[in-house]
Amino acid sequence: MSWLEAELREQPEALARLLERATATARAAAAAFRRPDVGYVLVASRGSSSNVARYAQYLLGRAHRVPVAFATPSLYTIYGQPPRLDGAIVVGISQSGASPDVVAVLAEARAQRRPTLAITNDPSSPLAETADIVLPIEAGPERAVAATKTYLNSLGAVALLFAEIGDDARARAELARMPEALEAQIALSLGESPPLEEYRDAVGATVVARGINYGTGFEIALKIRELSGLVTEAYSPADLLHGPIAAIGSGWPVLLVAPSGPARPSVEEVVAPIRARGARLLAISDVKAVLRRAHTRLPLVAGVPEWLSPLTAVVPGQVAALRLTELRGLDLDRPRGLRKVTLTR
């Protein structure tokens, strides 16, 4: 078994470990979000962590009812003109904690006396040493280049913050059930994964997602692209219809991420125009009507609240990326030209 598949299978255990060990830290971190001088959240991230940041943009925006914005690290590292951060709480998300540009954003925030939080798998990393508060994601060592359990536990850390910022007993209870739901999802996706041989020779694919799963769409696109080499891009339904749909033709794979929830009808609106172009539709959903309309069905376990659905919805995408890579005869653990830790400034 590849490291990638082994670590994919470890995700329920890793998530349970996070919930056991990090809840008290998340509760302490939540107090910083409630400071009266905090008017918005600024997130610094790269790679898979930026897809976690997209989740945080929706979830923390809902929890604290403040804007959640993405940092522009080049202003800090290349141009030497960092913006004023009055009113911000600054969150750095980096699985390795070694990204110099993410560290630079938090260092500047501290210099401006703004509260800082690091979400990382390495509590001794440069990012952790720079932050006021460290929320370790407790994923354990990850050997495969492509992130699976560190991505999943980073989502879990954001979900913990959401529950604690709102002091929400229901959210805590729903989150506590997620390791079991995740285990069921992995068993479903690995055990009933549809054959993907017809996509072996595809040159690319498109992923469509919206709302709380917007980041899930980007993460699935990233996994397919970095592992299998297929040129894969993610869009919201609105962005797809504003031009990029012109590149979708007969046989082109289009993957919808459409779990139950308020965002699902909007994602479904692209089905008719996509099918009219002769594209092959793949669907990740727990809704039978959505799956019936798809050429390839990637089912989700039922009963997961929408705010937590990114933790299960990413799994069929991870498995699809794994299977496509195997079909194309590529190394799952050593994607061409990539390293585990990428240092950017």
pLDDT digit string, tens, across residues 21-79: 999 999 999 999 999 999 999 999 999 999 999 999 999 988 668 899 999 999 999 99
Token code pair at residue 276: 């009219």
Within this chain, do residues 213 and 142 fall inside the same structural domain, yes or no? no
At 237 the pLDDT is 97
* 212 and 261 Cβ atoms separated by less than 8 Å: yes
DSSP lists the bridge partners of residue 10 as: none
In a domain, 142, yes or no: yes
Query: Residue 124's domain spans which residues?
Result: 3-176
Overall domain count for the chain: 2
At 342 the pLDDT is 60
pTM of the model: 0.96
What's the Cα-to-Cα distance from 211 to each of 70, 216, 236, 267, 336, rounded to whole Å?
A: 16, 10, 8, 9, 32
Q: For the purposes of burial, counting CB atoms within 10 Å of the CB of 24, is it exposed (0-12), middle (13-18) or buried (19 or more)? A: exposed
Q: What is the dihedral of CA 289, 292, 296, 297, to 10 degrees?
A: 50
Q: Which of 97, 122, 112, 139 is nearest to 42 (CA)?
A: 112
Within this chain, do residues 168 and 196 fall inside the same structural domain, yes or no? no
pLDDT at residue 340 tops 90: no
Within this chain, do residues 249 and 130 fall inside the same structural domain, yes or no? no
Within this chain, do residues 9 and 156 fall inside the same structural domain, yes or no? yes
* 322 and 227 Cβ atoms separated by less than 8 Å: yes
Within this chain, do residues 151 and 16 fall inside the same structural domain, yes or no? yes
In a domain, 339, yes or no: no
- Token pair 């919808």 is found at 256
At 158 the pLDDT is 98
Within this chain, do residues 285 and 232 fall inside the same structural domain, yes or no? yes
Within this chain, do residues 152 and 201 fall inside the same structural domain, yes or no? no
Token code pair at residue 149: 């359990």
pLDDT at residue 195 tops 80: yes
